[in-house]
Amino acid sequence: MIRHFLALEWKQYFRSSYWQKSIGLNLLLVFFALYFIVVFLMGGLALYPILKELYPDNDPFLLVNDFFFYWIIIDLLVRFFFQKLPVMSIKPLLTLPIKRSSILHFVLAKSAVSFLNLLPLFAAVPFAAVLVFEGYETVGVVAWVFLVLLVTLCINFLNFIIESLTAESELSFLPLILLTSALFALEYFGIVNFSQMVSAGFMSVVANPINVLVIVGLLIGLYSINYKILRGKLFLDSSLKSKVEEVKVADMAWTRRFGKMAPFMQLDLKLIWRNKRPRSSVFILVIGLLYGLFFYPQPMYSELPWIFPFIGIFVTGIFLINFGQFIPAWDSGYYKLLMSQNITYEDYLKSKFVLMALSVVALFVLSIPYVYFGWKILLAHFGAAVYNIGVNTHIMLFGGSFNRKKIDLNQRAAFNYQGTGAVQWIIGFPLMFLPMVIFAIAYYTINFEAGIAILVILGLLGMVFHQKLMKFITSKYQDSKYKMISAFSEDN
């Protein structure tokens, strides 16, 4: 049976248009993976000597174990946002003579061989080798490596439980963030010393390897909870047919003033409010707006004005980045309709532009209170907002013409594997870092005001040439029209 599943996986991956049409992106991902492997390997090797040098009085092994509490929390957070439960197209399998349990075991086992689970081993194994070399007891160290692997797997399965419990709500990330920050706060203010507890647990395994069985038991427990949760979802009516939602009707008469674009803007607004995927991007707006609070209150950053525009780009452009990266995939479900209806590409794209530009203006207005931390911040945010409207909107729309990945809006979040992947984040970087670099150069060669002026000028240039840029972008979309239609009508 597993042989069949593996064959299906292999074919699904290599026959998807995503793989075939974006080898470049895949290469980039492979490059990142290799990069992380090398970094972890080097880190594992260098950790012992570095710790010895920094803290000659402490046992490096103990120091590493003290750190594990933070690792668990950070790992959990990272996974929550990046890792989704791997999924097979289950519908065609349900009516075949395959045991439901073997489908589930396969899905769960597949999640265990994720890159994120192997990564810690790349650091743990060389570190353990150094430990043995330094004269630590071999049995204990080997048990420790196993422990690291087991804990990783526990985090892996714990994450899926958290995800499936919170997936139904819009603010799915809130409980986890609250929980981890609470744990962190308790630790930080010395109320409960979690890191010591975790460390003691780790050391007890090293001293007495049989204790590893406790973690094995925990792992089995987490696995069976996952199994139970999934088992309940493995029916056509629960995983495929979503609840009938109550219709929320809004008039949105104010969009009328945008003339020909009005129907599209209404459509986009409904798209955002009525579908789980895009709706969550609205809630990210709140996080984006508060992003500046991580930096500005700290005196360290107020000495570094070149970071202001970067935060400004993020704060005023969070919707632009979040929504824009999936243009036109948001409409992939009915792309054929749009392509055969009485509309021009330009109106369609313009309505997206207006929506993004309006969001930047609105977010800039909402971010005005940051002036409390200094007028320079307000100025930087203003420059960033103009740059966002003039330059980044166009970059986003242009980038969209390379979009070949369908988004299924109707998919429930629990089985949704089309989550924001690492790829989208990589694409987001030039949007935020390019203006920062431009500003930093101007800041250090001339002064702060000049840097802002350059950002504003670039943004204004983008607005002046808006018509020309849109013509160019539209032609790009027209060139790839047929490719998009065929990619969007594929299932994977």
Size of site (CB under 8 A) for another protein = 31
Write b or e for each residue in 204-229: b if 16 or more Cβ atoms lie within 10 A of its Cβ, otherwise e. ebbeebebbeebeebbeebbeebbeb
- Judged by CB under 8 A, the chain residues 174 through 193 that form the site for another protein are none
Binds another protein by CB under 8 A, chosen from 43, 201, 333, 421? 333
Q: Which amino acid is at 438?
A: I
Nearest distance from C-beta of residue 259 to another protein, angstroms: 11
Q: Which amino acid is at 243?
A: K
Phi/psi class of residue 304: alpha, beta or left (left: φ > 0; alpha: ψ in -120 to 50)?
beta
Nearest distance from C-beta of residue 249 to another protein, angstroms: 7
Nearest distance from C-beta of residue 355 to another protein, angstroms: 16
Binds another protein by CB under 8 A, chosen from 23, 96, 210, 249? 249
Nearest distance from C-beta of residue 194 to another protein, angstroms: 44
Q: Does 53 bind another protein (CB under 8 A)?
A: no
Binds another protein by CB under 8 A, chosen from 114, 218, 485, 490? 485
Q: Does 245 bind another protein (CB under 8 A)?
A: yes
Rg of the Cα atoms in the chain: 25
Binds another protein by CB under 8 A, chosen from 410, 447, 467, 475? 410
CA-to-CA dists, residue 118 to 149, 152, 410, angstroms: 8, 8, 33
CB 381 within 8 Å of CB 315: yes
The site map against another protein for 343-382 (x = CB under 8 A) is xx--------------------------------------
- Judged by CB under 8 A, the chain residues 83 through 142 that form the site for another protein are none
Q: Does 323 bind another protein (CB under 8 A)?
A: no
Give the whole-angstrom CA distance, residue 231 versus residue 453.
59
Binds another protein by CB under 8 A, chosen from 175, 274, 437, 472? 274
Q: Identify the three-state secondary structure at position 410.
A: coil
CB 253 within 8 Å of CB 266: no
Helices 138-166, 68-82: crossing angle, 10 deg rounding? 40
Among the residue ranges 65-73, 210-218, 293-301, 332-340, the one whose residues contact another protein (CB under 8 A): 332-340
Half-sphere exposure for 409 (CA within 13 Å, toward CB): 18
Q: Which residues bind another protein (CB under 8 A)?
A: 242, 244-247, 249, 262-263, 266-267, 270-271, 274-275, 333-337, 339-344, 409-410, 482, 485-486, 489
